[in-house]
Chains A and B, each alone.
Chain A
């Protein structure tokens, strides 16, 4: 029964987490900590930390974490599926209309006005994560002398390789993780 309540809670969270990512956190907190009292606030903040450290959308991470605590694997499946059902349905409808009307001239023009914004948003996300990697802090708290030289070196090499040789993106990401950890380990800094 609790699982069914949770399932509904995550359907709601999925439906109302407009703006993605961090917009979902207060919603999850409301449902999980305040309304259904499944976790304490402390456990919840642990959950956010882990969700940030692992790949994947924070919403799915949270749903999986809560589902596992409450009902094991069935709980994981119910909660994760619950939180994607609303966006799945809405996006199917959007996809249908997009592919139906995207060749209409006026629609095409409106769409091309949104493309520069998307490029800008990707650029902003990329720069934020770069600064986080190089300085370990957000944009607001950067101290230039705190730059991490290992990360700077790896970034330069990764950038060179990807521009010059068109290497697989995942190989670049995993490669920088492995090489960086090795360097830190050899330097005795871990």
Chain B
């Protein structure tokens, strides 16, 4: 893996902007990271971004922080991780520090409340755009197993409120079984 320190500033700036402007949960910001690092900068591959997201489920802490540690590591090693995490945590630190001084006014301001409410649909548009592309690519694999897993996982998360960690965990087990079965079959053919 080659490390590229010239990318550090862009890495910091990108994570800072994403973190400053993204409301609502880890999976939201991950879809924005995908847009930035995969589509725009072409630093990492789409599959890699999905892998990273899955891996973050096996670590504690906020998904965004975990994802930025791994993406940062990929771009520039441990220094990259530090830079990416700094970019991720600085905006909420700055914003909350300022707000905590007069949060009563902030909480009751009708303009802020309206802007935050409307921004949600903007965020939704961005995510659904990413989802359309990603789901298309899963369908393009033409593996029925993967397509069924995607649909079932969606229902599990959206309808039944099952935790992301559990869903990824179950898919991990299915993946391992899949490998064992394929390997077993090949062995039999050889024998």
Question: Which residues does chain A contribute within 8 Å of B89, judged by CB atoms?
Answer: 56, 60, 80, 84
Q: Is the CB of A109 within 8 A of B175?
A: yes
State which of A88, A116, A128, A169 has its C-beta within 8 Å of the C-beta of B32: A169
The listed residue (A21, A88, A96, A109) touching B85 by CB distance below 8 A is A88
Interface SS of chain A: helix, strand, loop or mixed? helix
- Tally of contact residues, A, Cβ under 8 A: 96
Chain A residue contacts of B50, Cβ below 8 A: 114-115, 118-119
Q: A87 contacts B65, CB within 8 Å?
A: yes
The reply to whether A92 and B60 contact each other, CB–CB distance below 8 Å, is no
Instruction: Please state if A57 and B147 are interface contacts (CB–CB under 8 Å).
Output: no
Q: Does B41 have its Cβ within 8 Å of any Cβ on chain A?
A: no
- Contact check, A94 vs B60: say whether CB atoms are below 8 A apart: no
User: Are A126 and B66 closer than 8 Å at their CB atoms?
Assistant: no
B8: Cβ under 8 A from any A Cβ: no
Q: Are B158 and A117 in contact (CB under 8 A)?
A: no
**Contact string against B for A residues 24-68, beta-carbon threshold 8 Å, 1 for contact and 0 otherwise:** 100000000000000000000010011101111111110011001
B150 partner residues in chain A, CB cutoff 8 A: 116-117, 119-120
Bound state CA distance, A86 and B85, in angstroms?
13
**B111 adjacent to A190 (CB under 8 Å):** yes
Q: Which residues of B contact A142 (CB under 8 A)?
A: none
Task: Kindly provide the distance from the CB of B17 to the nearest chain A CB, expressed in whole angstroms.
Answer: 6
Within 8 A of A (CB), among B133-181: 134-135, 138, 141, 145-147, 149-151, 153-154, 156-158, 163-165, 167-168, 170-172, 174-176, 178-179
B61 contacts A130, C-beta separation under 8 Å: no
- Nearest B-chain residue to A123, judged by Cβ: B131
Is residue A2 within 8 Å, beta carbon to beta carbon, of the partner chain? no
Known A-B contacts A17-B61, A173-B119; A122 and B107 likewise in contact (beta carbons under 8 Å): no
Of residues 94 to 147 in B, which have CB atoms within 8 Å of A's CB atoms?
95-97, 99-101, 103, 106-107, 110-132, 134-135, 138, 141, 145-147
Name the interface size band of chain B: 35 or more
CA distance A111 to B117 in the complex (A): 36
> Does B184 reach chain A (CB closer than 8 Å)?
no
Contacts of A169 in B (CB 8 A): 32, 35-36, 126
A6 within 8 A of partner (CB): no
Residue of B nearest to A90 (CB): B59
Knowing A54-B92, A169-B32, say if A116 contacts B147 (CB, 8 Å).
yes
Q: Is residue A1 contacting chain B, with contact meaning CB distance below 8 A?
A: no
Q: A146-190 CB contact bits vs B (8 Å, 1 = yes)?
A: 000011101100110011000001101111111111001100001
Q: Does A5 contact B (CB under 8 A)?
A: no
Chain B contacts of A177 at CB under 8 A? 115-116, 118-119, 122
Within the complex, what minimum Cβ distance (angstroms) separates A41 from chain B? 16
Known A-B contacts A117-B168, A124-B157, A150-B118; A109 and B124 likewise in contact (beta carbons under 8 Å): no
Identify 4 new A-B residue pairs, CB closer than 8 A, beyond the known A61-B92, A162-B126: A57-B65, A73-B97, A92-B69, A133-B121
Which residues on B are within 8 Å of A, measured CB to CB? 1, 17-28, 30-32, 35-36, 47-48, 50-56, 58-66, 69-70, 73-74, 78, 81, 85, 89, 91-93, 95-97, 99-101, 103, 106-107, 110-132, 134-135, 138, 141, 145-147, 149-151, 153-154, 156-158, 163-165, 167-168, 170-172, 174-176, 178-179, 182-183
